Amino acid sequence: MHIPDGILPLPVTGAGYAATAATTWYSIRKIKQKEDPRQDIPKASLLTAAFFVASWIHIPMPPTSVHMVLNGLLGTLLGYYAFPAILIGLFFQAVMFGHGGLTTLGLNAMIMGLPAIIAHHIFRMRKWGSGESRRKTSVFGFLAGVVAVGISVAMFVVILLTNLPAELNVVSEKAAIFTLAIAHIPVIFIEGTITALVTTFLRRVRPGILDGV
Amino acid sequence: MCGKWRSIIAIIGILMLGSALPTEAYAHGVNIEYTSNVEIEIIARYDTGTPMAGAQVAVYTPSDPSTPWLTGVCDEEGRFSFVPDTSQPGIWDVQVRLAGHGGIIHIPIGGDAAVTDGGGGFSHLQIGLMAACVVWGTVGTALYFSRRRRT
């Protein structure tokens, strides 16, 4: 789900960088409003590593293969730290493995980072009403994981479909894009399950980790 | 008389010898023409090794890098081949694309340029080492900030 260099026109990639700059600024602003902004940096660092390695975990879905994203998990555990963490992870993935590209770094950060922030807000809904419970943590953790990857796939598809070059066989490329999107459906539910399991486990053994998010 | 017969025999002998040789070699010039077709074959695979079957290919000449000179589709093994126009020397670009994934390879054609592949990828060991370095960097960052917090 990483868009590589040379696929999209320059104005679109430029708009991606502008949106990423604005979102990064807003995220840092929100982080600075915390009582101790440095407190969650170790957690953010470790989850950046998890995100970085996740793109290596390929799941064969004939006729294609997909990989884990983990942006929902980062959003639920990190809150606004998730966006810069994903941005750094994407940069290393592009430079070292060629997953994505440097010109499309901004767009890829929006595709995976913005849904992480949305996942953070979905996970916070567990505190509504009669307070937090194990079941609510599990349900909203699952929803956060599902929605994050689902929105990422939707953004990926919309950006590609609205920027198909004229010289391509549009019908064939559209079919390939939809096939790839459908192949992500199992990943959506796998990531929802992983997010629910991790948040439920952390609530039981280290509830303090979830306090800030 | 004897000298006369000797001369006749010598002439007949020379004529017989001449008739035994391939006349074409002496009678006609040879004009051989050839055309040099350097076929370029690309193989497109994902980094998992899976061929990009059905990927769309666009070939761009050095003189017009915005309009495709040729378009086509990779076969089941991710192969696509074409014969470039050698009258247009320079760097030819070949773009491969499938479902928003793909890349561009730059192929020197003609002149003194040697045809090279688009390799340059890293081995699994190199990738593993690089990934380990990045992971260690993040773990180190986590340890550093957790230590500062405790002290």
Q: Are residues B91 and B147 in the same domain?
A: no
- Note whether residue B32 is domain-resident: no
A10-30+38-210: CATH class: mainly alpha
- Note whether residue B151 is domain-resident: yes
Q: Are residues B74 and B142 in the same domain?
A: no
Q: Are residues B44 and B106 in the same domain?
A: yes
Residue B60 near residue B69, CB atoms below 8 Å: yes
The number of distinct structural domains making up chain B is 2
pLDDT tens per residue, range A75-111: 999 999 999 999 999 999 998 888 889 999 999 999 9
> Residue A74's pLDDT is what?
96
Enumerate residues 113 to 132 of chain A having a beta carbon within 8 A of any beta carbon in chain B: none
- Note whether residue B27 is domain-resident: no
Q: Are residues B111 and B50 in the same domain?
A: yes
Q: How far is B123 from chain A (nearest CA, A)?
A: 11
Q: Which residues in chain B are contacts of A53 at CB distance < 8 A? A: 131, 135
Q: Are residues B115 and B128 in the same domain?
A: no
What tokens were used for A60?
């064969």
Neighbour count for residue A89 (Cβ, 10 Å): 28
Q: Are residues B128 and B142 in the same domain?
A: yes
Q: With 0-12 CB in 10 A as exposed, 13-18 as middle and 19+ as buried, what is B80? A: buried
Q: Are residues B78 and B138 in the same domain?
A: no
pLDDT average, residue stretch A129-140:
88
Q: Scan for tokens 């937090």, then name that residue.
A: A132
pLDDT-above-70 percentage for chain A = 100
Q: Is residue B17 over pLDDT 80?
A: no
Query: Is pLDDT larger for residue A64 or for residue A205?
Result: A205
- Is B139 in contact with A45 (Cβ distance < 8 A)? yes
Please give the residue range of the domain that contains residue B94: 40-120
pLDDT average, residue stretch B110-119:
54
Give backbone dihedrals phi and psi of B103, rounded to 5 degrees, phi first. Answer: -175, 180
Residue A93 near residue A105, CB atoms below 8 Å: no
Nearest Cα residue to A51 out of A60, A59, A43: A43
Give backbone dihedrals phi and psi of B45, rounded to 5 degrees, phi first. Answer: -135, 155
- Is B97 in contact with A52 (Cβ distance < 8 A)? no
Q: Are residues B96 and B47 in the same domain?
A: yes
Q: What span, in angstroms and rounded, lies between the C-alpha atoms of A138 and A146?
A: 12
Q: Does A62 touch chain B (CB under 8 A)?
A: no
> Residue B23's pLDDT is what?
45
Q: Scan for tokens 């000797």, then name that residue.
A: B6
Half-sphere exposure (Cβ direction) of B126: Cα atoms closer than 13 Å: 6
Question: How is chain A split into domains, by residue range?
Answer: 10-30+38-210
Strand-pair category, B90-98 with B79-82: unpaired
Q: Are residues B116 and B133 in the same domain?
A: no
pLDDT tens per residue, range B66-84: 889 999 999 999 999 999 9
> Residue B112's pLDDT is what?
53
Q: Are residues B46 and B83 in the same domain?
A: yes
Q: Are residues B125 and B115 in the same domain?
A: no
The whole-model pTM stands at 0.81
Q: Are residues B113 and B132 in the same domain?
A: no
- Note whether residue B148 is domain-resident: yes
